[in-house]
A and B are shown apart, each in its own frame.
Chain A
Amino acid sequence: MYKLTYKQYFNALKEGKLLGLKCNDCGSYTAPPKLCCDKCGSISIEVVSLSGKGVIKTFTVIRVSPEGYEAPYIVAMAELEEGPWLMGNLINVDPDKAKMDNIIGKKVTVSAKVLPKMNYTPDEGVTPAFIITE
């Protein structure tokens, strides 16, 4: 039933390929993956490569981190060219110099950060790593 599972999505992301789903009924893109089109619910969807380009919409600098993570680091949300938003880490900005003006609206490309298996995670994890390109 699944065209793209989290594991397939993670494995591709690790190799620098951002995958998504394109809906054959409404034409919209869904990423990260889910069972059906996020807009219309259709299961007539196909796996496509996304451009991996977007802009930062919002961010925070985490100063108090959960177990397994070392603060400070930047969590950000980016809007992809194809429409979906991703949450990930912004990796080429010094957390101490992160301000709204130099981050929000900036163009990014999506690469990947791999996390080892931790307490309460099923396996290794992969999160988008955003790199500001302008």
Chain B
Amino acid sequence: MRKVCVAGVGMTKFGRSQKSSIEMFAEAAMEAIVGSSIKPADIQCLYFGNVYGDLEEGQTVMAPYAAREIGLSAGTPSLRFEGACASASVAIRDAFIAVAGGFYDLVLAGGTERELAMGTPLATRAFEMASEAYYEGYAGITFPGVFAMLARLYSKKYGVPLPKLKERMAMVAVKNHKNGAKNPLAQFRNEITVEEVLDGPMIAEPLQLLDCCPFTDGAAAIVITTEEKAKKMVKKPVYIRGVGQGSGAPLYRQKDFTLIESRVAAAKTAYAMAGIEPKDVDVVEIHDCFTIAEIVASECLGLFDFGTASEAVEKGETRIGGRIPINPSGGLKSKGHPIGATGAAQSYEIVKQLRGEFVERGTQVEGAKIGLTDTLGGDSATLVNIIYGIKG
């Protein structure tokens, strides 16, 4: 296997966009291409994440149009990856495999999504499509509903009374908004308080509005290449040290899903490939689609013992400057969650963290050498973990 690096990265402002999904992707992609000191025609393949283009814009088969929009040639393959909210991370992992295995030297990976074009009722329905359709969907389950049930399982299993757990969940939202307020690309740049979270409208009990990430438009892209090429393209190449992906069963088969088996397996694979342990990780972008999701994920990734992560949040261990900073970008909660793009936006954040580019923004994790992304698709069906490092 060859050593693989990320060269340039690009990302649009997240929020409501007047641009099409392809226009957003093209801007993020061109930023990544220009940042890699290459030309679009140098790209050998496009790995493209998008989930609901048909429902949002009446557009399927978006990958080839996106490829030609940014000047890739008629002979350049383009592949669409759909792994629900983890689509871009699935694309990045596959791009890594293609470069590591020697088939391509230079690929573009990322994704785009224009969720706000749908409106809340259709968007809620669309997201529900990523739950199992026959034995979960007909119950009228929603994504907030899934994580609401998870919060209650967690409270019961670990004996954290629900009011206490809800307060700690609110602290996750407060932390991520605090980080996101400093991120010019974030959808929500306002700081919030625990009281505001606990006073918000109920979405799926016990989850309230500010426990939930928003619907978002946005795109992100990264250029993936060999170590040798990356060294010529950018001053600070960032290595992809390990990747892992898992497939989760529907929730009713997982039963107690406070331990998400696909995540534990994906993380184990990624850590083993990178030759590191959870304690070696300096900075993490976690899939905080809901506040409880960040708590549970941090345990499945081995960053905290099972049942202890909510207390760690309260102690400030996941803040920037804490033992293991989680979501310095603001996370899905504050930065936003355009599902086809989210994994690439996590990668964007980690790559820049490892290059030390966020000092001015005030969210640099000092001395970060190893970073981890965690992306969840569906209600835990597709799980991707990617480990990045400044050394190969």
Contacts and interface: CB of A to CB of B under 8 A. Distances in A.
A68 B125 contact: yes
B125 A32 contact: no
B149 A66 contact: no
Interface stretch (B43-51, B70-78, B127-135, B345-353): B127-135
Contacts of B206: 60
Contacts of B149: 58-60, 75-77
B205 A89 contact: no
Interface stretch (B91-99, B137-145, B233-241, B309-317): B137-145
Q: Is the interface of A mostly helix, strand, loop or mixed?
A: strand
B251 interface: yes
Interface in A36-82: 38, 57-69, 73, 75-77, 79
A52 B383 CA distance: 33
A104 interface: yes
Contacts of A59: 149, 152
B204 A60 contact: yes
Interface string A104-130: 100000000001000111000111100
A16 to B, nearest CB: 17
A90 to B, nearest CB: 10
A128 B136 CA distance: 10
Interface residues of B, number: 41
A64 B124 contact: yes
B153 A58 contact: yes
A23 B142 CA distance: 32
A98 interface: yes
Q: Is the interface of B mostly helix, strand, loop or mixed?
A: helix
Interface in B75-132: 120-122, 124-125, 127-129
Contact of B251 (A63, A77, A115): A77
A85 B201 CA distance: 30
A38 B153 CA distance: 22
B165 to A, nearest CB: 11
B135 A63 contact: no
A87 interface: yes
A21 interface: no
B205 A60 contact: yes
A121 B128 CA distance: 12
Contacts of B255: 57, 79, 85
Given A66-B124, A98-B205, A87 B136 contact: yes
B140 A62 contact: yes
B279 interface: no
A75 B141 contact: yes
B162 interface: yes
7 contacts: A32-B134, A66-B140, A75-B139, A85-B252, A87-B135, A88-B139, A100-B152
Given A61-B202, A62-B204, 18 more contacts: A6-B135, A58-B153, A58-B156, A59-B149, A60-B144, A63-B202, A64-B124, A64-B204, A67-B122, A85-B251, A86-B135, A87-B136, A98-B205, A100-B152, A120-B125, A121-B137, A125-B134, A127-B138
Interface of A: 6, 32, 38, 57-69, 73, 75-77, 79, 84-89, 98, 100, 104, 115, 119-121, 125-128
Interface of B: 120-122, 124-125, 127-129, 133-142, 144-145, 148-150, 152-153, 155-156, 162, 201-207, 249, 251-253, 255-256
